[in-house]
Amino acid sequence: MENKTNLLIRSKTVDSDSRRRFLRYAGFSAATATTILAACENAAMEPSTLGEGTGARVAADGSIDLGSGDVGILNYAYALEQLEYAFYAQVIATPFAGMSNMERMILTDIRDHEKAHRDFFRAALGAAAIPALSANFGAINFNDRASVLSTARTFEDLGVSAYNGAGKLLSSPLNLSTAGKIVSVEARHAAIIRELLAPFTTSFAGDDVVTSDTGLDVVNMPGTVLAAAQPFVVQTITANNLPTM
Amino acid sequence: MNLQNLFNALENVDPEIYDRVKHVSRRQLFSFGKKAALVAAPLAVASSINKAYGQSMPDRTVEVLKFALVLEYLEDEFYRLGLNTPGLIPAQDRPIFAQISKHEASHVALLRTALGAAADPKPNFDFTAKGAFPTVFSNYQTFTALAQAFEDTGVRAYKGQVANIGQDPVLETALRIHSVEARHAARVRVLRGMKGWISGMEGFPGAVYAGEQATREREVDVPGISGVSAMGVTEAFDEPLTKDQVLAIALQFVR
C-alpha cells in the first residue's frame, strides 16, 4: 500500500484532463489507472510532503471517495474549493441585477482566491486528487442578489467550519499549516459577504456563527459539511475512509 | 512533598483553587491519618489538580496558550478602553467594536480557564507604544489602524502556533479563535477603506505584514499553475508569524 500511495502521488504531472479521459475509457478505478500512468511519469513532489493516506477512488457507479488519511482530508478541502470556485465563476459570468462596482470587485477577488486554492490543492494532490466535480446550482437564482449572497455566506461559513473541524484529523504539521493559511482567508470572505448582506451590524462575526459566551467560531466535521455541500454537486461524494475522531 | 505549602502557593496564584478541586475538599485532604495521607493524599491531589488544571497539558501547549493569552489581554483591554472613551467611536461603528470586544473578553476568560494556575496576570499596556501613537484614544483613524494591526497580528500569531500545537486537545479551540480573529480583521480593514484580505505586504506597521507577499505554497508556484495574479495569490493565503515576530510587535505595547 505504501508503494502504491507513493506512486499515486508521484504521478502529479499527468494532465488531469487526459487522466479523466483515460479513466472513462478504461473504466478503471482512479487508483488502478493512475498507478499505471504513474509508472511512466517523473516524480514531481516528494510524497512525504502530502502526509499519510491513499488517494481518491471513483467507484463503478461514478461516486467519488475522497480517500484516507491526510490525503483524504486534502481531497475534502479540494472538493469544497472546487465548489466555491465554480460558484463565484458563475456569479461573475452572470452578474446579479444591480451588482455594484464594489460588489463586483469583492466577488471577483473571492473568485480568484478560490481558484488559487482549488488549483493549489489539485497540484499538491497530483494523481491522488479527486476528479473535477460538476456543480449543480439549479437552486440558486444568479440574477438575484439575495440568492447569490446568501449562498455565498453559506459556502464561506461552511468552509470555515470545515477547516476548523478538519484540523484535528490531519497528522502532518505541514498540512495543518496549509489549512491554517486558507481557513483565515475563508473567514475573511465570510465576514465581508455578511457585511454586504447586513452592513454595520454584528453579522460579520455574528452570534449565529461565533458562540457568544466562548467567542469560538463555527466548527463542523466532514459528515455534516459534505451533507450540506452534496446538493450542489452532481457526483456523489463519499467519505468512507476519512479519519474520524 | 509539603502539601500545605503547595496549597498555600496555589492559593496565592489562584484563590479559586478550592472551588476547582472541590471534589477533594480541604478537610478531607488533611483529615486522613498521617500514614494514609502520605500515600493517598498526593495521589488524590495530583489527580484532582490534573483534572482541574490540566497539568497533563504538555509544556509546549502551556507556552502556546500563555502566548495567546498575552495577545488576547492586549486586544481585550484595547477595545474596552476604546469603547469607554466618549466620542472616539462613531455611533454607527459601535456595534462592530462591541461585538469584537465581546469576543476578546471571551477569549481571555477561556484561555485563563484552560491555563488555570499557569495563567499569567494581565500585563500593563501602553497603547501609545511609548509615545509612537499618542492619539490612539483621541483620533479614530489611529484607533482603527491599531485595531487592524492587532487583528491581523492575532490571525498570524494563532496560525503560527497551530502547527506547533499539532494534535492536541486545544487545537480545535485555537483554530476556532483564529478564524474569529480573521473575521474581525476583515471587518476592521473594510471599515478603514481597505480590502478585507491582505494584499502583498500592504499595511501598517510593516512588521505586522512581513512575509505576506509569499506566492509559493508547499513548493507550488500558485500564480504559475492557476493563472491568478501574484497579488491575488498573496491575498488567497494568509501567512504565519513566529512567536518572536509577534512578541516584537506586541511588546511595544507593554509597559
Residue A208 is part of a domain; what is its CATH number? 1.20.1260.10
Chain B residue with minimal CA distance to A159?
Answer: B179
Q: Which pLDDT score is estimated for A49?
A: 73
Q: How many CB pairs under 8 A join A and B?
A: 197
Q: Which regions in chain B score pLDDT beneath 50?
A: 1-54
Contact predicate B12/B117, CB 8 Å: no
A227: cell is 451533507
Q: Which pLDDT score is estimated for A36?
A: 36
CB contact under 8 A, B183 and A200: no
CB contact under 8 A, B218 and A174: yes
Scan for cell 465563476, then name that residue: A89
CATH of B59-197+238-253, one of 1.20.1260.10, 3.30.499.10, 3.60.9.10, 3.30.1490.20: 1.20.1260.10
State the sign of the Cα–Cα–Cα–Cα dihedral A170, A172, A173, A178.
negative
Q: How far is A69 from chain B (nearest CA, A)?
A: 14
Distance CA B153, CA B221 (A): 25
Q: Domain of A88?
A: 70-238
In a domain, A86, yes or no: yes
In this predicted structure, the answer to whether residue A233 has a pLDDT above a threshold of 80 is yes
**Which residues, 6 or more positions from B169, have their beta carbon under 8 angstroms from its beta carbon?**
none
What average pLDDT score do residues A222-226 get?
Answer: 97
Contact predicate B240/A177, CB 8 Å: yes
Q: How far is A107 from chain B (nearest CA, A)?
A: 12
Distance CA A34, CA A204 (A): 43
- A196 beta partners: none
From the candidates A46, A118, A188, which should be mutated to test the interface with B, based on the most B CB atoms within 10 A?
Answer: A188
CB contact under 8 A, A216 and B171: no
Distance CA B68, CA B107 (A): 9
Distance CA B125, CA B254 (A): 4
Q: Which pLDDT score is estimated for B250?
A: 96
Q: Is A191 on the interface with B (CB under 8 A)?
A: yes
In a domain, A244, yes or no: no
Contact predicate A42/A135, CB 8 Å: no
In this predicted structure, the answer to whether residue A144 has a pLDDT above a threshold of 90 is yes
CB contact under 8 A, A215 and B104: yes
pLDDT digit string, tens, across residues A5-22 = 333 333 333 334 444 433
Distance CA B170, CA B111 (A): 10
Q: Which pLDDT score is estimated for B163?
A: 83
Q: Which pLDDT score is estimated for A48?
A: 52
Of B190, B218, B237, the CB nearest to A195: B190
ipTM value of the model?
0.83
Distance CA A82, CA A74 (A): 12
Q: Which pLDDT score is estimated for B48?
A: 31
Write the DSSP assignment of B227-245 as a string of letters.
---HHHHHHHSPPP--HHH
Q: What residues of B are in contact with residue A115 (Cβ under 8 Å)?
A: 226-228
In a domain, A132, yes or no: yes
Q: Is B166 on the interface with A (CB under 8 A)?
A: yes
Q: Which pLDDT score is estimated for B175?
A: 97
Q: How far is A174 from chain B (nearest CA, A)?
A: 7
Q: Which pLDDT score is estimated for A64?
A: 97
Q: Is A116 on the interface with B (CB under 8 A)?
A: yes
In a domain, A224, yes or no: yes
What average pLDDT score do residues A26-47 get?
Answer: 38
Overall domain count for chain A = 1
Say how far residue B98 (Cα) sits from the centre of its chain: 18
In this predicted structure, the answer to whether residue A134 has a pLDDT above a threshold of 50 is yes
From the candidates A78, A120, A169, A184, which should be mutated to test the interface with B, based on the most B CB atoms within 10 A?
Answer: A184
In a domain, A113, yes or no: yes
**Residue (of B99, B1, B243) closest to A209 by Cα position:** B99
**Residue (of B33, B90, B147, B226) closest to A115 by Cα position:** B226
Chain A residue with minimal CA distance to B184?
Answer: A205
Domain-wise residue ranges, chain B: 3-53, 59-197+238-253
What mean pLDDT is reported for chain A?
85
Is residue A224 exposed (0-12), middle (13-18) or buried (19+ Cβ within 10 Å)? middle
Q: Which pLDDT score is estimated for B55?
A: 54
